[in-house]
């Protein structure tokens, strides 16, 4: 074993971490090399002096100081605990928020005239939908982004979304006349329509 290798292994040997074979080689080298033996002796005395020193006791308040410096445990917010206790209601609320958001987005993007219902007896002039006198619309009639002018009959509900309704003296509406001119009203209309479809299939 060379001197450089012996010096590298001295600290591990003092700590008892050097493998047996290397310990034997180091001991043999120390017997044969006075310089390394002297160096090892100095390290051994230094380590003994360090271990002989009394270990200072930690201040009694050290534990409290460390614990006080740690970040406080964050308590869960009220709404998170409510969500954990009511998962079904939370899911329904999230679904409703997403659905209303999509309805509002659709409201803002869609400005084309659209119709639903019995259109065989109506006349369309631009964005105006006319139910002529003497004509009858079977069932509900829904008009979005247009004007409704009713001279004849509607055998159901008349719904006008983001538009105007004009009823002549000859007009007859069997159901209700609904006008929706705000995004929130339209979203509520869509929700109630969806629930009617689920509940009654209409």
Instruction: Quote the pTM value.
Output: 0.40
Question: Which pLDDT score, from 0 to 100, does residue 89 have?
Answer: 77
| Helices 34-52, 3-15: crossing angle, 10 deg rounding | 30
d(CA 44, CA 31): 15
pLDDT band at 182 (very low <50, low <70, confident <90, very high): low
Average pLDDT, the chain: 80
Count Cα atoms within 13 angstroms, Cβ side, for 25: 13
Task: Note the pLDDT tens digit of each residue in 79-108.
Answer: 666 667 777 877 777 777 776 666 656 555
Classify residue 118 by its DSSP letter.
Answer: -
Task: Note the pLDDT tens digit of each residue in 106-115.
Answer: 555 557 888 8
3-state secondary structure of 45: helix
Give mean pLDDT, residues 7-33.
Answer: 87
Q: Which two tokens stand for residue 50?
A: 């360090």
Q: Which two tokens stand for residue 123?
A: 């006349």
Task: Note the pLDDT tens digit of each residue in 39-55.
Answer: 888 888 888 887 777 77
């Amino acid at each position: 074993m060379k001197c450089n290798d012996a010096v590298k292994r001295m600290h591990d040997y003092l700590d008892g971490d050097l493998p047996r074979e290397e310990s034997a080689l180091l001991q043999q080298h120390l017997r044969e090399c006075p310089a390394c033996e002297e160096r090892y002796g100095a390290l051994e005395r230094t380590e003994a002096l360090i271990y002989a020193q009394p270990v200072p006791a930690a201040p009694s308040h050290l534990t409290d100081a460390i614990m006080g410096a740690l970040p406080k445990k964050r308590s869960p917010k009220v709404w998170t605990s409510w969500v954990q206790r009511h998962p079904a209601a939370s899911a329904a609320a999230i679904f409703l928020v997403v659905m209303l958001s999509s309805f509002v987005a659709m409201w803002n993007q869609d400005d084309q005239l659209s119709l639903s219902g019995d259109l065989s007896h109506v006349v369309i002039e631009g964005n105006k939908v006319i139910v002529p006198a003497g004509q009858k619309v079977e069932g509900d009639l829904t008009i979005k982004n247009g004007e409704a002018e009713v001279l004849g009959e509607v055998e159901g509900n008349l719904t006008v979304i983001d538009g105007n309704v004009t009823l002549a003296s000859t007009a007859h509406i069997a159901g209700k006349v609904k006008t929706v001119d705000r995004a929130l009203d339209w979203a509520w209309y869509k929700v109630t329509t969806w629930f009617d479809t689920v509940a009654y299939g209409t």
